[in-house]
């Protein structure tokens, strides 16, 4: 049961980080410049995507997912390191 709770809490942590990433990692309020619009249009034509906005959305979701994975990995690394230091301190007493 404890394992299930630990794994569930990790999933909830990742989903929270993904929601934070979706909320704060974006450039959507800003309009594209003409050169950016041309670049996105050319890349979307090259990839066979009909609407450059669709490609833009997929690229940003991928970036936000990468940010969430990196944040999750950093938190897990720091937590393991903290627990290791804490266990060593308790063992030395």
Greater model confidence, 91 or 40: 40
pLDDT band at 57 (very low <50, low <70, confident <90, very high): confident
> Given a cut of 80, is residue 82 above it in pLDDT?
yes
Residue 28 lies inside a defined structural domain of this protein: no
Q: Does residue 88 form part of some domain?
A: yes
Does residue 38 lie within any of the structural domains?
yes
> 34-55 pLDDT, tens per residue?
998 999 999 999 999 999 988 9
Overall domain count for the chain: 1
- Inside any domain, residue 24: no
What pLDDT, on the 0 to 100 scale, is given for residue 28? 67
Query: Does the residue 12 lie in any domain?
Result: no
Average pLDDT, the chain: 87
- Three-class secondary structure assignment of the chain: CHHHHHHHHHHHHHHHHHHHHHHHCCCCCCCCCHHHHHHHHHHHHHHCCCCHHHHHHHHHHHHHHHHHHHHHHHHHHHHHHHHHHHHHHHHHC
Question: Is residue 2 in some structural domain?
Answer: no
User: Is pLDDT of 26 > 90?
Assistant: no
- Give the domain range for residue 87: 34-93
Q: 75 lies in a domain?
A: yes
| pLDDT reported for residue 68 | 93
């Amino acid at each position: 049961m404890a394992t299930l709770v630990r794994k569930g809490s990790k999933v909830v942590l990742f989903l929270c980080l993904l929601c934070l990433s979706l909320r704060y990692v974006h450039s959507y309020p800003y309009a594209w410049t003409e050169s950016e619009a041309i670049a996105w249009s050319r890349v979307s034509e090259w990839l066979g995507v009909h609407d450059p906005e669709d490609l833009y959305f997929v690229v940003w979701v991928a970036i936000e997912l990468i940010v969430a994975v990196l944040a999750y990995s950093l938190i897990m690394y720091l937590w393991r390191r903290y627990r290791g230091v804490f266990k060593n301190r308790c063992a030395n007493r």
